[in-house]
């Protein structure tokens, strides 16, 4: 039943949301290199605004993102071995493939895990930033998750569980940071 719901939601997002704007923007949003200026800005923002703590804050940011990636890519994906929707042709008669599929497994989404780990870590440790900035970080990670389903490389459960993994790792990373600083 869960798989049927997952496939139904995938089809709703992948086919039901199809429009020229999403067809153009969402494949771009999921590309890691597109966000390099944001990553540089965030690092500069941390260094400029949290001078004494910035060193540890950045170290734990990298530890958090790296831990999320290792758990998702090397532990969970290799254990579960769920095929990507774009490689699961027996589940679909027709769907929109908007990017190259890739050969790796689908569960959990590393994009979701890593971007939510970064977003939640920053939400937890960047004290004093406005709420809208914190919400923006979470919306940014959510947009990347939506894009992963829209382009056909992940099921909704993959990104939801990846987002949950990112949250848990970020919570742990922020707690460790708090103990050090």
pTM: 0.92
CA atoms within 13 A on the CB side of 124: 23
Q: Is 93's pLDDT higher than 70?
A: no
pLDDT tens digits along 59-84: 999 999 999 999 999 999 999 999 88
CB neighbour list of residue 108: distance below 8 Å, 6 or more residues apart? 72, 76, 77, 80, 158, 159, 161, 162, 165
Structural domain that includes position 157: 2-180
Q: Is 100's pLDDT higher than 70?
A: yes
Per DSSP, the three-state class of 30 is coil
Q: How many domains, the chain?
A: 1
Mean pLDDT of 129-152: 96
Determine contact, residues 84/106, Cβ cutoff 8 Å. Answer: yes
Q: CATH no. for residue 47?
A: 1.20.144
Mean pLDDT of 82-102: 78
pLDDT tens digits along 158-168: 999 999 999 99
What is the separation of C-alpha 139 from the centre of its chain, rounded to a whole number of angstroms? 11
């Amino acid at each position: 039943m869960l798989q049927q719901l997952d496939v139904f939601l995938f089809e709703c997002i992948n086919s039901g949301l199809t429009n020229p704007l999403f067809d153009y923007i969402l494949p771009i949003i999921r590309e890691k290199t597109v966000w390099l200026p944001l990553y540089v800005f965030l690092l500069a923002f941390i260094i400029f605004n949290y001078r004494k703590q910035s060193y540890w804050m950045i170290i734990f940011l990298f530890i958090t993102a790296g831990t999320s990636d290792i758990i998702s890519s090397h532990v969970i994906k290799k254990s579960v071995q769920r095929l990507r929707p774009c490689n699961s042709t027996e589940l679909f008669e027709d769907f929109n493939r908007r990017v190259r599929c890739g050969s790796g497994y689908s569960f959990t989404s590393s994009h979701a895990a890593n971007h939510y780990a970064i977003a939640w870590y920053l939400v937890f440790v960047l004290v004093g930033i406005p709420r809208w900035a914190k919400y923006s970080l979470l919306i940014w990670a959510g947009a990347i998750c939506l894009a992963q389903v829209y382009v056909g490389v992940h099921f909704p459960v993959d990104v939801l569980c990846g987002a949950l993994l990112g949250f848990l790792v970020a919570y742990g990373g922020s707690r460790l940071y708090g103990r050090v600083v």
